[in-house]
Amino acid sequence: MTGSAREFVVEADGGSRGNPGPAGYGAVVRDAATGQTLVEAAEYLGVVTNNVAEYRGLLAGLRAAGELDPDATVHVRMDSKLVVEQMSGRWKIKHPDMKPLAAEAARVFPPGRVTYEWIPRADNKHADRLANEAMDAGARGEQWSPSTSTAELDAATDRAASAGRTAGSRRSGDASGVAPAGAGEAADVAAAGGDALAAGERLPRTTTRTGAGSAVSGGAAAAAGASGGGEAAVSGGDAIAGERVGRAARTGAGGAVPGAAEAPAAADVRAAKVVASPGWGPPDMGSPATFVLLRHGETPLTPQKRFSGSGGSDPSLSPVGREQAERVAESLARRGTIEAIVASPLARTRETAGIVAARLNLAVTVEEGLRETDFGAWEGLTFGEVRDRHPADLDAWLASPDAEPTGGGESFAATATRVAATRDKLVAAYAGRTVLLVSHVTPIKTFLRLALGAPPESLFRMELSAASLSAVAYYADGGASVRLFNETSHLR
């Protein structure tokens, strides 16, 4: 293990068609930094209660996380109020079938390394789908198989199609006879000393660390539309947020779900799924090379929105920029997923990378291919100043990726060629590892554009804030998946 211990998010669920009745569980382990699904687990259990199935899902998720990294910290998210309250130590465990399961779950990680959070059922669809797949497989006399699972895609599509509806829906999938968690656990909740809940009732979000210590949050939220800070016009335009999607190989052949016309958001999820893993790849392509893309902190030129490329004054970080670097360093240290750091040779990126490296106890490798575009005679000027002095050149630059800035600067097409070669070099060097690349607006946007298969003009439609984080995963079959875009929660 390199660096700090990793941080995982475990989502788990269980269901019983009859309560007690034919039952199954589902569990998902995600990387807290990127949101990437690392492990899916599901099993048909025979005839047990809904609550026992939920505990079995929790246990499976914790064990899977422990196999990935026994030193990890884990944030558990479940829609079972009973399990969350009992594992947090606030409610007693009275049911004889649940006591040994709870004790076993508590032993997987030492006290203080697992946190528990109740979430609405609508936010736990991935694990719910896995549980229903397991029950469906059991009804056919089969075992659940990850190679045929479509739970991740189905959950993403369902979330998109049901946006705006409340979280009190019945359990999804072919589970018309599955007892809703709220109703199925009401008696056990009352017996445990808590208030019985009506099925589907929303609860306040609660996050609790078992044992001593403060609460932590799981996952990495993608934040778009933050304040400017980009290099002049390159950072302008509409902010976009990338949604994490799973690999298409998990859907089996084709991966399409028949039915009526999809909601636009659901269609976007399916389109991104194809980009993430084109072709007929095997169900397991191994761990991807994941590039966490960090834009450097502010320089004195950043708030003035001046062109600041690789051909100008090479400014260092401002005091605000150094504080931003410190904050992102702390955030990355908590996530514990970075295994190497590679930086552009410019002063602002090397300084940002150095602050992060000192916090993570890692070395910094300098890579020439990560430098910013050379903006020629526009270096140090604002967009308005360039418009006044070089209007024809600016119009040509805005219209074509092949156009160069005045004075022999670098075109976006040339930058894309350089970034693509650097990407291929680093993917080969860091296969299966998570690497922090400290770079600039144009190279980071180009990494994202190439991963999405977006046209060159998309560079003008992305907002990338100073000290923001984005992430792209690269798989062995050549596929790429954008995991995170312009995340800035660590700065707030």
Q: Which residues are catalytic?
A: 296, 372
Distances (CA, A) of 381 to 251, 302, 414: 50, 11, 22
Q: What is the dihedral of CA 30, 35, 40, 44, to 10 degrees?
A: 90
The single-letter code of the amino acid at 15 is G
Dihedral-angle region of residue 378 (phi above 0 means left; psi in -120 to 50 means alpha; beta otherwise): alpha
- How is residue 108 written in tokens? 């997987």
The three state secondary structure string of 444-484 is HHHHHHHHHCCCHHHHHHCCCCCCCEEEEEECCCCCEEEEE
Taking each helix axis from N to C end, the angle separating 264-276 and 151-161, rounded to the nearest 10 degrees, works out to 150
Please give the Cα distance from 254 to 251 (Å, whole number). 7
- DSSP β-bridge partners for residue 437: 293, 342
Output the DSSP codes for 182-195: HHHTHHHHHHTTS-
Q: Strand order of the sheet with strand 480-487?
A: 364-366, 340-343, 434-439, 289-295, 469-474, 480-487
Point out which residues pair with 484 in neighbouring strands.
471
